């Protein structure tokens, strides 16, 4: 099975053909990986894209789009394996409303759910953007022992196409109360809770292919110290990883949140020869069968460890995608194997963010990857205006050729 763009015969919300991302892709697994979709639609009277309604209406529209795309791929909402709901600061108090819409629309599906509180979305009026992965039959429920209750009983994990998707992990106790009020304590709590979730799924930290931690700018001075907690839990080959700063997290008192993809495949480190990763608890990428879990990339010179192109988001995008393509080449692939990107852009980079489309057009290839764009308060380096989280599928036959 090759990677193909999903192209509905009718997509009433807007003309998707000019964009440098796909509405969704069908990929080996078989799976469908969709871009993030909000309630944006073209308004002929205004001659522009608009977003209308409150949380209920916007969530319904987002799932209408998801349903139309899945139908074009021969699937339905009941095949959804994994959902990421990016909910803005303006909409996070209505996250329970979004969850009600999701449960109503997905029917019998019980996907793994990641809820991320984002500063805003690319469309200013958007409150929610939904990205899903689906597989025929909804993948497989992942529980080590269904006869005993575990952390995954209330927050399911699902597996499809070689990836196990865990729900968002917050630093809470079994009663849902936040553990600690400082970053170090919460980081220890969230990694221990994640270890229990992995164990419930019959896995361990050795199976983690990708780990993204969300934290807040207020914790930045203490963030480096969390590396000690990572070293207690993670072992080589270290997973792909990213650290993203949001004004607040899904729980108002949380200082850190983990979203994790794991695998039962053997993990192998992929490194283009960048020495800086020898001292870190994450890898440029790890291969798991045909899947390449890649760390977040920004405009950082891997040799000097200095940020480059400060103040120029388009130049940063070109440098970032060049780094991504170097990792892909080291894995035996190329930009044609990129199946998903999540782009985090800062308020400083937002005014010129449209210019990054021409960079993607030049440096990537059709069918363009599924993509989601999110506005975060800032990134780990103050010079960064853009960070990209990529995922690739490189068939072994290609890499070994």
Closest CA to 197 of 157, 247, 138, 225: 157
pLDDT confidence band for 125 (50 / 70 / 90): very high
Residue, of 37 and 400, whose pLDDT is higher: 37
Do 131 and 83 form a contact (C-beta atoms < 8 A)?
yes
What one-character DSSP code corresponds to residue 37?
Answer: B
- Here the tokens at position 162 are 């070689």
Q: What percent of the chain has pLDDT over 90?
A: 94
- Alpha carbons 158 and 170: distance in angstroms, whole number: 18
Q: Residue 115's pLDDT band (boundaries 50, 70, 90)? A: very high
Q: Could you count the other beta carbons within 10 Å of the beta carbon of residue 377?
A: 18
Q: Would the pLDDT of 142 be above 80?
A: yes
Q: What is the pLDDT of residue 145?
A: 66
301: which DSSP letter? Answer: -
pLDDT of residue 172: 96
Residue 7 CA to residue 9 CA, distance in Å, equals 6
Indicate left, alpha or beta for 137 from its phi (over 0: left) and psi (-120 to 50: alpha). Answer: left
pLDDT tens track for 306-357? 999 999 999 999 999 999 999 999 999 999 999 999 999 999 999 999 999 9
Q: Which residue has the tokens 């600061």?
A: 89
**Tell me: the pLDDT tens digits for 171-210?**
999 999 999 999 999 999 999 999 999 999 999 999 999 9
pLDDT confidence tier of residue 1, bands split at 50, 70 and 90: low
- pLDDT of 397 reads 75
Closest C-alpha among 148, 230, 163, 164 to residue 198: 164
| pLDDT value of position 153 | 79
pTM of the complete model: 0.96
Average pLDDT over residues 86-109: 97
Q: Where are the alpha helices (DSSP H) in 138-243?
A: 183-200, 220-223, 227-233
Phi and psi dihedrals of 312, rounded to 5?
Answer: -130, 95
Angle between helices 313-330 and 356-363 (to 10 degrees): 20
Strand positions, DSSP E, 78-207:
80-88, 112-118, 120-121, 128-134, 140-141, 158-160, 163-165
CA distance 23 to 309: 30
Strands 370-375, 338-345: parallel, antiparallel or unpaired by DSSP? parallel
């Amino acid at each position: 099975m090759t990677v193909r763009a999903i192209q509905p015969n009718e997509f009433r919300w807007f003309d998707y053909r000019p964009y440098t991302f796909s509405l969704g892709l069908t990929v080996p697994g078989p799976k469908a990986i969709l871009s993030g979709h909000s309630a944006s639609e073209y308004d002929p009277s205004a001659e522009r894209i608009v977003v209308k309604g409150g949380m209920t209406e916007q969530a319904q529209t987002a799932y209408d789009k998801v349903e139309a795309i899945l139908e074009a791929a021969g699937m339905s909402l009941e095949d959804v394996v994994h959902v990421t709901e990016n909910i803005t600061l303006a909409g996070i108090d209505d996250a329970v409303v979004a969850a009600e819409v999701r449960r109503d629309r997905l029917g019998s599906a019980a996907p793994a759910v990641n809820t991320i509180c984002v500063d805003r979305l690319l469309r200013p009026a958007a409150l929610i953007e939904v990205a899903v992965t689906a597989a025929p039959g909804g993948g497989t429920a992942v529980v080590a022992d269904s006869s005993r209750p575990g952390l995954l009983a209330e927050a399911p994990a699902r597996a499809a196409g070689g990836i196990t998707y865990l729900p968002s992990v917050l630093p809470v106790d079994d009663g849902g109360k936040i553990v600690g009020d400082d970053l170090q304590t919460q980081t220890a709590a969230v990694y221990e809770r994640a270890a229990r979730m992995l164990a419930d799924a019959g896995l361990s930290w050795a199976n983690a292919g990708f780990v993204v931690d969300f934290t807040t700018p207020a914790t930045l001075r203490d963030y480096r110290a969390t590396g000690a907690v990572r070293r207690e839990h993670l072992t080589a080959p270290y997973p792909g990883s990213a650290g993203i700063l949001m004004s607040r997290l899904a729980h108002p008192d949380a200082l850190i949140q983990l979203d994790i993809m794991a695998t039962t495949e053997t993990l192998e480190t992929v490194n283009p020869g960048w020495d800086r990763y020898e001292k870190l608890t994450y890898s440029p990428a790890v291969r798991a069968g045909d899947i390449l879990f890649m760390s977040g990339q920004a405009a950082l010179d891997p040799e000097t460890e200095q940020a480059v192109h400060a103040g120029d988001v388009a130049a940063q995008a070109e440098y970032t995608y060049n780094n991504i393509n170097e990792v892909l080449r080291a894995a035996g692939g190329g930009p044609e194997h990129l199946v998903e990107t999540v782009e985090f852009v800062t308020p400083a980079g937002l005014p010129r963010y449209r210019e990054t489309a021409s960079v993607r057009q030049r440096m990537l290839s059709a069918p363009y990857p599924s993509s989601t764009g999110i506005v975060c308060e800032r990134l780990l380096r103050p010079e960064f205006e853009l960070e990209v989280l990529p995922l690739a599928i490189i068939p072994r036959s290609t890499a070994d050729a």
